[in-house]
Structure formats: C-alpha cells, structure tokens
Structure 1
Amino acid sequence: MTKKVALIIGASRGIGRQIAIDLARNGYAVVVAAKTTSNPHDPSIPFPPPPNSFASTINTVAREITDLYGGTATAIAVDTRDTTQINHLISETVRIYGKLDVLIYNSGAIWWSSVENTPVKRFQLMQKINPEGLYASVHAALPYFEKNEWKGRIIVVSPPIYSRFFRGKTAYAMGKVGMSVLTKGLAMDFEREGRKNMAITSIWPAVSIESAATGDMVKKDPTSERDLRKPTIFSDAILAMLNAPVHKVNGLLDLDEDFLRRECGVADFSKYAVVPGSSPRRIMPAKFPILEVEEQDDEGRRMDSAQLRAGRVKI
C-alpha cells in the first residue's frame, strides 16, 4: 500500500462522510467505520443517498468513494461502546492495508439539556461513545503507530476548552472536554518521549455545519439554514492539519475557520455557506483562554502508576 491509510470512525453521514470522501479524493485509502450498515446496492434506495439521511451508511459511503471518485475504501462496522469491536476495527484496518497513518474520531452522541433534564442513562451513553470510545480507539491504535516508527496523525472532533461551552449542556460538555484533555495529554506524551513525527489535534466548527443534527433545526425553522456551512470546510481544515508540520498541530485545540485563516491564508469563506450570499453566524468565541501555567514544565517528582504496579519504581 503506497497510499496513506486513514481510519475515520463515525463516517456514515454528514461531516464524517465528507471527511472520508475528501481524504480519498486526496489520495488516501480510507476505512469508514460506524455502527449502521446497509446493502449499498439496494435498488429501492437512490444512489448516492442524501448525505445527511439514515440511508447514508458506511457501505454507501465506501461505494461513493470507489464508484464515483475512483478511490480506495473499505467499510467496517463498529459499535464504539464495545472495546472488543474497536480492537477488531483497528487490527482489521492494518490487516487489510498493512498500516495505519491517520486516525480520525468523529463518532459522537449528543444531548443538550440541563443536568436536571439529562437522565443518568443518557449521560452514561454519551460518556461511553464520546470520551471512552475515543480513548479505546487511540489506545488500540498506538501499538500500530509504534510499528510505523511513530509516524502518524490523530484528529479528534472536540472543542477548545472554555466556560461558556458548559452552559445548558453540562453532561455533553463533560465528555467532549474530556476528549480535548486527551488531546492535550497525549500530545505531551509524544513530546516527552521524543516522538517528533506524531501529532494529535482537536478540531471544532466555528459555525454550525449542515448535518443530520442541524437538519432537525432547519425543519423547525427553515430560516436557520442561513446560519449553516457545508461540511467541506471541516474536511478542508482537517486536510490542512494533516499536511501541517507536527510542531504546529500537536496538542492544538482549534476551529476549522480559524486554522484555515491563520495557517492557510483563507480570507473568504463564502463558498462554504449553505445558502449562497448568506453570512452564517459564528457560534464560537473569537478568543479562548490559555490553558498553560507558568509552572508548566515543573512536574516535581513524576509518578508512573504502570511502573509502580510492575515494581520497577520504588517510592
């Protein structure tokens, strides 16, 4: 396999579908993974199906890539609540293509409401799919990045960390912020271990993106479509992140628009508007808090629980 291999988890429709298609169009062999599957040749379903509908599955996305764009794609089903299935997904990706260069975690569960109106089961579901699914996917992928001489990229769909994000969706924010903490922490691990060709980056939309979730909003209020962007802005930003030097993106929590403007010189974003001529409202702050402290590099005496458990370190 001479192409770079990218695994996109959460690629059945919307943003994930667009990421998979655009990576394939840019020379990647892609594995599209999600829970929902279908017969991509079902004559009762139009092909290609509407990109934000439930008719769009990993199987139809893989067929779009191979049949419409001449790309290389494989669909593998996975339930990210099941660690065994995640381990199988990663190993099967490497079995088929021989390596793993890029891991993108787009899988997610959403429930935006107050703590009082968020049932415990809904909270647990979000944690299982969002931070736990991400952690299991990254943990399963790391040994294969090691076999690839620690050359690779991980992209996480999670936000910059700031207080307003918690308002009105605390249960959801707990998981998503946890995903961003993983980005920051693993980036520090890469730096500490001298893995100069590995990077993990988080990306989040600056403006609401057309998807299955925003489709419900448009049904209730058709005028809200003017505040949406096409998912291509997200895939364009991810491609730019994958092509950027490691030191620019490792540990970065950024927005699609901001990265494209700052690192790629994009000034006109009008082509991404769903409604031509509209000016979609930015939903994210213009600036974010700096998380680092003055004592950032002063860890004191470092403790490693794994080494302690193995008896290799004594206190």
Structure 2
Amino acid sequence: MSLNGKVAIVTGSGAGLGLAYAQELARQGAKVVINDVNEDVTKQAVESITSAGGAAIGVTAPVGSTETAEKLVNAAVEEFGTLDILVNNAGILRDRSLLKMSDDDFDAVINVHLRGTFTCVRAAFAYFKENEIKGRIVTIGSPTGQRGNFGQTNYAAAKAGIVGMVRTWALEMKRAGVTVNAIIPVAATAMTETVPYFSAAIEADKAGEAMPAFFRKELGFGTAADVAGLIAFLSSDEAANITGQAIGVGGDRLQVWGHPEPVATEFREGGWSYEAMQSEGRELIENNLQDVGEKFLELPAELQPKA
C-alpha cells in the first residue's frame, strides 16, 4: 500500500465523491480524518473505513472558517501524530440564474468552496512547513469552473478561483517540497442526479450495473470510484514532480487541462484607441471568439431520458 504511515484529511467526506476519496486513501494505507456537517453521516463514513480494517476518525463541522480548518489539522495530529495529505472536497450548491441569485446564495457557496479551500490549505501548509513535511494537497475543481454553466454564477466563480489559487500556491510551496493540484472530476453524484442527460448512467450506477460505454468513453463520465485513484496517486510520493496542475478524470478518461493562454496577439504602433479598435481590433477579436459552457454530445436514441 503506497500510503502506509500517511495521515490524510478529506473535507466533505461523509458521502459521495468525498467518501470514495477517503475510502481509497484508507485502502492505500492512509489514516483518515473524515469531515461532514452531519454527525450521523460522519460516524457512518468512519465506520465504513474502520470496519474494513482501516483507521479513521470524524470531525463534524462546516468547512469555511479558520476555526474549522485548524480543528481538522489538530484532530489529525492529536489522533494520528502528524498530517501528510489534505483533500479539499467540501461543497454545496445554490443554483439560480443571475437575477434570481440572492446574496446568501452567492456567499454560502463561496464560503464553503473557495474560502474553505483557502483556510484549510493555509492551516495544512503551515503545519507542513513548520514540521518540514513534503505534504500533498489536492483541491477539487469542476468543468463549470473551467468553462462556465448556466445558473451557476457562484459555483463557477468558486471553482475557477480554486484553480487560480492552486497555480499561485504551487509557486509558493515549491521550496518546501509541498505539491498542490486541482482535479476536475466528472462523475455520478447527488449534484448530477437531477440532470436528465445523465439519467441512463445514474440509473445503471444505482442498480450496481456498468454504465453504458457512451458515458464512460465518449463523455468521460463515471463513478466516484473512477476519480478516487487519481486522488490517491496525487497524494503519494510518486507524484512529487506534479504540482500546479488541473487534471480531469471521469469514466475511462484522464485529461490534463491547459492553463489559459492567448489565442491571438497583434501589436499596433501607438496603441489601441477606440478608432483603432473599430478599424483593426474588432476583427482580431471577432475572428478568435472562444466558446463558453460545456458541450455535450448528442445521446444515442437508446440512452435518451424517458419521458
């Protein structure tokens, strides 16, 4: 087991993707701190690991505050003697189109995803640096943060922000030997259950059956377990040279997302006045417009949602 002797925190790990991450880390030998906002869910998740012979404890607390971040780090150190791995997975949704989105809708999602990632990473990195530990940090992005999605202003902002922080942290943590990466998972979760497009895949997964090949191969959409292997790998010593990356995974597909780069560049002596934009700049921009939003392939007839 590649993570023998390692200690990991996984936020938002009571169920879904987070639980799959925690269980895989434990399967690879790590001792795990489970985190959820529901005490019963936390206990059940811990039991799922300990009953299989692993080591786990639970911390029931909402992610976002510095207090919770420090509580998680302290729990790991007090119970298991150290901390080596942090997986930032905790998240919520408050989907609404822009004019229907309240301040509370926006703030709640930003607090858990973006601020929660910031506070937990800060607390973990402080411990790593103070104790000269070449730790591993994995954060969770989303295709929505990479490309946008209707009705998810708050979520898109948070997930894009997480990837931006990862690129910055990779620079700041390099000297300490700490790696930090973002993964972009595409998997069946409570968040995708309500999307009709994925219904055939979700139904198969719930029935314990293999998802149709179209979802796994063409779309790169799979189960929570399909994502967990990448989490464990990035948490291992084998991934010491991988940092500052956004890596997509789902179904049978693995992707490395590119960093934003200019697609067209033109220089003009004297700069770009309004008149220059009309005569030359407009053409450069319009000839290189980038699309937005996720693009889904047309479902085969047999996989169309049932009316």
Question: Residue by residue, what CA displacement relative to the aligned partner does 1:88-124 show, whole Å, maximum 9, x if unpaired?
Answer: 2211211111110000000011133321121111001
* Distance apart, 1:139 and its partner CA: 1.2
C-alpha distance in structure 1 between counterparts of 2:99 and 2:107, whole Å: 15
> What is the aligned length?
243
Amino acid at match of 1:32: I
Instruction: Find the counterpart in structure 2 of residue 201 from structure 1.
Output: 181
Three-state SS of the structure 2 residue aligned to 1:112 is coil
C-alpha distance in structure 2 between counterparts of 1:258 and 1:292, whole Å: 28
1:136-155 aligned at under 5 Å gives the runs 136-155=119-138
Say if 2:89 is the partner of 1:112: no
Amino acid at match of 1:97: F
Instruction: Find the counterpart in structure 2 of residue 23 from structure 1.
Output: 25
Instruction: Find the counterpart in structure 2 of residue 230 from structure 1.
Output: 223
Amino acid at match of 2:48: E
Say if 2:61 is the partner of 1:83: no
C-alpha distance in structure 2 between counterparts of 1:136 and 1:189, whole Å: 16
Instruction: Find the counterpart in structure 2 of residue 126 from structure 1.
Output: 109
Amino acid at match of 2:190: A
Is the Cα contact below 8 Å between 2:222 and 2:251 reproduced in 1? no
Three-state SS of the structure 1 residue aligned to 2:63 is coil
Is the Cα contact below 8 Å between 2:84 and 2:133 reproduced in 1? no
Amino acid at match of 1:135: F
Three-state SS of the structure 2 residue aligned to 1:31 is strand
Give the direction of change, closer, same or farther, for the CA distance of 1:66–1:170 in structure 2 (3 Å limit). same
Instruction: Find the counterpart in structure 2 of residue 64 from structure 1.
Output: 48
| Match of residue 95, structure 1, among 66, 69, 78 | 78
* Distance apart, 1:65 and its partner CA: 0.7
Structure 1: tracts of 5 or more residues without a match: 39-56, 263-286, 294-315
Three-state SS of the structure 2 residue aligned to 1:213 is coil
* Distance apart, 1:254 and its partner CA: 1.1
* Distance apart, 1:133 and its partner CA: 0.8
Tell me which moved more, 6-15 or 253-262. 253-262
* Distance apart, 1:132 and its partner CA: 0.6
Amino acid at match of 1:200: V
* Distance apart, 1:217 and its partner CA: 3.8
Is the Cα contact below 8 Å between 2:7 and 2:85 reproduced in 1? yes
Say if 2:172 is the partner of 1:172: no
Instruction: Find the counterpart in structure 1 of residue 301 from structure 2.
Output: none
Is the Cα contact below 8 Å between 1:153 and 1:199 reproduced in 2? yes
How high is the TM-score relative to the length of structure 1?
0.70
Three-state SS of the structure 2 residue aligned to 1:234 is helix
Tell me which moved more, 89-98 or 152-161. 152-161
Three-state SS of the structure 2 residue aligned to 1:109 is coil
C-alpha distance in structure 1 between counterparts of 2:257 and 2:22, whole Å: 29
Instruction: Find the counterpart in structure 2 of residue 242 from structure 1.
Output: 235
C-alpha distance in structure 2 between counterparts of 1:224 and 1:259, whole Å: 14
Is the Cα contact below 8 Å between 2:95 and 2:151 reproduced in 1? yes
Structure 2: tracts of 5 or more residues without a match: 203-211, 216-220, 263-307
Is the Cα contact below 8 Å between 1:159 and 1:254 reproduced in 2? no
Amino acid at match of 1:238: I
C-alpha distance in structure 2 between counterparts of 1:259 and 1:183, whole Å: 25
How high is the TM-score relative to the length of structure 2?
0.71
Q: Cα RMSD over matched residues?
A: 2.7
C-alpha distance in structure 2 between counterparts of 1:161 and 1:216, whole Å: 16
Instruction: Find the counterpart in structure 2 of residue 74 from structure 1.
Output: 57
C-alpha distance in structure 1 between counterparts of 2:55 and 2:257, whole Å: 38
Is the Cα contact below 8 Å between 2:73 and 2:123 reproduced in 1? yes
Is the Cα contact below 8 Å between 2:192 and 2:198 reproduced in 1? no
Could you tell me the percent identity over the aligned residues? 24
* Distance apart, 1:86 and its partner CA: 2.3
* Distance apart, 1:79 and its partner CA: 1.2
Is the Cα contact below 8 Å between 1:8 and 1:106 reproduced in 2? yes
* Distance apart, 1:261 and its partner CA: 4.5
